[in-house]
Structures are given as C-alpha cells and as structure tokens.
Amino acid sequence: MTTLEIAIRDEKEVDAAVITEVTVAAFETMEISNHTEQFIIEALRAAKALTLSLVAEMDGRVVGHIAFSPVTISDGTRTWYGLGPVSVLPEYQRRGIGKALIQEGLSRLKDLNAKGCCLVGHPQYYRKFGFENGTGLVHEGVPQEVFFALSFDGHFPQGHVMFHEGFKANGHGDPLVRSRAPNASFNHNE
C-alpha cells in the first residue's frame, strides 16, 4: 500500500454534507455506537459550539473529520474541550488519518490556550496521545475506563464534566438540527 499525503484543514461551509456522509459511514457498523454522531456534529455546528472542526483530505477527497467543543467542569475550570466525534471513512481507516486529525486538533487547541481536553473513547487507542483516566474528572453515566483527559498545563480539574448539549442530539426533532440537513459512546475511527 502506498502512503498518500493527508491534508488537514478547517471545515468549510460546503463540507457539511460530506462530513455527515463520512461520519455515518465511519460509525455504521460499530456496535458500540448509538449512530447519532452525525446529529451531534450538526447540533454543535448549529449552536456555533464547534471550536475546531477539521477535515482530512486525500487526493482532494474528504476522508475524515474531527470535532472539538467546549465542556463545562463542575469545579469552574475553564478552557477545557471535548474531542469528538472523530470519523474516518472505513476504506481509509488504519492509515494514520485519525491520528493525524487528533494530533493536529490537540496542537490547535494548545494554540488557543486551552488547558486540556477530554473524551469518551476506546481505552487502548487514546492513551498513545497522552490521555489518561482516573484524574478526578468524571462524566456521569460513563465508565471511568472509557473517559479520558489530557491536561496541557499539568493541572487536572476535579469534578464532573458536561459535554455540550449537542451531544444529546439524536436526529428526532432536535431543536438544534431541525433546520439543518440530516450520543456517541465512543470516538474510535482511526
């Protein structure tokens, strides 16, 4: 297999439909998914809560996407973000596209003076990026072994993390996505 060059850039307005397609395809066969990831992205976009929305292109084709949005932490800590969903078209998975999207997104968060990032994801995958669990941060209803945090300044807040309301979107009359074109358990499509 030849190595193709991956270009990562900010989402453009014209990318919305293809991001939906990539997301649906990436999570279609995942048993651990609620298959609502595309609605989450739409809701975050509609609420203007996408701090970062990046696409990966190969040969001019959008083959991956990652979203970052602000989280609320019960101890009042600010400038922490949630990672996800992250999606890569099935035929492009296991080529480093997810890794490239995550690394670029984390780098850009640091450039925005973010203090940290958290996510719900696959335990074996996210540790390689420095994410860890058991830091005193919890996400209600989510097992600690799949909830991860990465501090950029060495300080871990203590308390409950709440992702943006858009993570509750399921496509069934969601007020945030009703006017747009058509809650993930995991973010794992490398």
pLDDT, tens digit only, all 190 positions of the chain: 345 689 999 999 999 999 999 999 999 977 667 789 999 999 999 999 999 999 999 999 999 999 999 999 999 999 999 999 999 999 999 999 999 999 999 999 999 999 999 999 988 899 999 999 877 899 999 999 999 999 999 999 999 999 999 999 988 764 444 333 333 334 544 4
Q: Is residue 150 part of a domain?
A: yes
β-pairing, 72-73 vs 159-162, is antiparallel
What pLDDT is recorded for position 3?
Answer: 52
Instruction: Please return the burial class of 15, using the count of CB atoms within 10 Å of its CB with bins 0-12, 13-18 and 19+.
Output: middle
pTM: 0.88
What pLDDT is recorded for position 34?
Answer: 78
Q: Is residue 187 part of a domain?
A: no
Could you tell me the residue range of the domain that residue 57 belongs to? Answer: 7-168
Q: Is residue 45 part of a domain?
A: yes
Q: Is residue 182 part of a domain?
A: no
Q: Is residue 83 part of a domain?
A: yes
The gap from C-alpha 9 to its chain's centroid, in whole angstroms, comes to 15
What pLDDT is recorded for position 29?
Answer: 78
Torsion of the alpha carbons at 110, 98, 10 and 33, rounded to the nearest 10? -100
Instruction: Please return the burial class of 62, using the count of CB atoms within 10 Å of its CB with bins 0-12, 13-18 and 19+.
Output: buried
Count of domains observed in the chain: 1
What pLDDT is recorded for position 31?
Answer: 67
Q: Is residue 175 part of a domain?
A: no
Q: Is residue 173 part of a domain?
A: no
Collapsed DSSP state (helix, strand, coil) of residue 82: strand
CATH for 159: 3.40.630.30
What pLDDT is recorded for position 33?
Answer: 73
Q: Is residue 123 part of a domain?
A: yes
